[in-house]
């Protein structure tokens, strides 16, 4: 799909067939390749070259060791990381210059329900949430060899049944935000870039005021300028907005905004002007305009995109 930078309108470019159920996506650091996890058997990752007009050219489909809930690359684009919710593991695969992903060269067992995985901006440290284990794994990462080893301490522990799910680094590289799926909370953690460790400094609510259901938080992102943070909550179909106060990254609640039904995923464009939210039960994507001064969201429209949309990636092309 194409996003009109002036109006926020979405328009269709093409539909690309794949051989399985697509869920998580990730894009190479040079924005040349898109990787899509296929979560139906045989478990695999499909690679696509991103053309200048936004169309996708299939490159290859490669095996993965399990059904993967999350994908990311290291900062060089040489390694693909994956986290398996059902398989209780994380994996690493090499990426060739032509975008072809090799079979996994590392498979590491985790606590129950590994959910998200990514490196820090320096590419020296790797983190992975284990939703069922109530931890974030803290690992050393060697970008030359691909070696992944436990850091000291090897985990950041969360309260029982918190369910840490997705996380994002602040653009300053010294703060990490983690959204909990199960307890309706969001943590701000200080990141020590020398030791590669996290320490929780603040916890805030990630459910709307007056909420009385079962929390089911999903995704989390900051604006590129680092001034605002957003999280999605699926039970209430709400986007929660926060102001990021100062370099220590503490959060102040800004507001809550209705969006698509069961918003499993959303993304923010590189200028920080638009937030696109995908609703698994509405089969649509909403475009919300972000006020650059206040962080408030204005819903501009909704576009049907097909059954069960569960991931959003926005890529700048020329």
Contact 126, 79 (CB under 8 A): no
pLDDT at 120: 98
User: Looking at the domain assignment, is residue 288 inside a domain?
Assistant: no
How many percent of the chain have pLDDT more than 90? Answer: 99
Confidence of residue 318 (pLDDT cuts 50, 70, 90): confident
User: Looking at the domain assignment, is residue 223 inside a domain?
Assistant: yes
Q: What is the pLDDT of residues 152-203, one digit of tens each?
A: 999 999 999 999 999 999 999 999 999 999 999 999 999 999 999 999 999 9
* CATH number of the domain within which 37 lies: 2.130.10.10
Sign of CA dihedral 130, 145, 71, 288: positive
Q: Which pTM value belongs to this model?
A: 0.98
Q: Write the CA distances from 157 to 79, 233, 288, integer angstroms.
A: 27, 22, 34
Helix (H, G, I), strand (E, B) or coil at 178: strand
User: Looking at the domain assignment, is residue 295 inside a domain?
Assistant: no
Per-residue tokens: 262 = 């069961």
**For the chain, first and last CA: distance in Å?**
15
Pairwise CA distance, residues 5 & 316, whole Å? 11
42: nearest Cα among 19, 58, 25: 19
Contact 82, 88 (CB under 8 A): no
User: Looking at the domain assignment, is residue 127 inside a domain?
Assistant: yes
- Position of tokens 């990630």? 206
Contact 91, 25 (CB under 8 A): no
Q: What is the pLDDT of residues 52-94, one digit of tens each?
A: 999 999 999 999 999 999 999 999 999 999 999 999 999 999 9
User: Looking at the domain assignment, is residue 16 inside a domain?
Assistant: no
User: Looking at the domain assignment, is residue 314 inside a domain?
Assistant: no
Residue 153 neighbours by CB distance under 10 Å: 11
Contact 231, 255 (CB under 8 A): no
113: nearest Cα among 156, 69, 162: 69
Domain that holds residue 105: 21-262
User: Looking at the domain assignment, is residue 298 inside a domain?
Assistant: no
User: Looking at the domain assignment, is residue 9 inside a domain?
Assistant: no
Structural domains of the chain, count: 1
pLDDT at 245: 96
Question: Which residues are 12's β-sheet partners?
Answer: none
Q: What is the pLDDT of residues 190-229, one digit of tens each?
A: 999 999 999 999 999 999 999 999 999 999 999 999 999 9
**Radius of gyration of the chain from Cα atoms?**
18
Residue 65 neighbours by CB distance under 10 Å: 17
Pairwise CA distance, residues 283 & 267, whole Å? 16
Pairwise CA distance, residues 87 & 92, whole Å? 14
């Amino acid at each position: 799909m194409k996003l009109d930078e002036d109006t926020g309108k979405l328009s269709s470019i093409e539909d690309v067939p794949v051989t399985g159920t697509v869920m998580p996506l990730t894009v190479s650091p040079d924005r040349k390749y898109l990787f899509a996890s296929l979560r139906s058997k045989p478990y695999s990752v499909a690679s696509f070259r991103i053309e200048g007009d936004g169309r996708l050219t299939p490159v290859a489909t490669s095996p993965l060791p399990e059904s993967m809930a999350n994908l990311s690359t290291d900062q060089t684009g040489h390694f693909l990381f994956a986290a398996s919710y059902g398989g209780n593991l994380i994996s690493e695969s090499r990426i060739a210059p032509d975008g072809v992903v090799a079979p996994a060269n590392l498979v590491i067992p985790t606590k129950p329900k590994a959910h998200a995985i990514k490196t820090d901006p320096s590419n020296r440290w790797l983190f992975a949430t284990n939703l069922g284990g109530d931890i974030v794994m803290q690992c050393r990462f060697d970008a030359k060899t691909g070696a992944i080893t436990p850091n000291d301490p090897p985990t950041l522990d969360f309260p029982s049944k918190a369910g840490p799910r997705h996380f994002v680094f602040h653009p300053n590289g010294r703060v990490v935000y983690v959204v909990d799926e199960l307890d309706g909370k969001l943590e701000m953690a200080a990141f020590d870039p020398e030791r590669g460790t996290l320490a929780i400094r603040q916890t805030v609510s990630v459910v709307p005021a007056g909420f009385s259901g079962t929390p089911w938080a999903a995704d989390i992102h900051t604006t590129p300028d680092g001034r605002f943070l957003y999280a999605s909550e699926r039970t209430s179909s709400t986007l929660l907005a926060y102001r990021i106060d100062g370099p220590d990254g503490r959060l102040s609640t800004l507001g809550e905004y209705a969006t698509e039904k069961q918003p499993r995923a959303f993304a923010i464009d590189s200028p920080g002007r638009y937030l696109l939210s995908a609703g698994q039960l509405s089969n649509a994507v909403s475009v919300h305009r972000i006020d650059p001064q206040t962080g408030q969201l204005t819903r501009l429209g909704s576009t049907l995109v097909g059954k069960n949309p569960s991931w959003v990636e926005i890529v700048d092309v020329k």
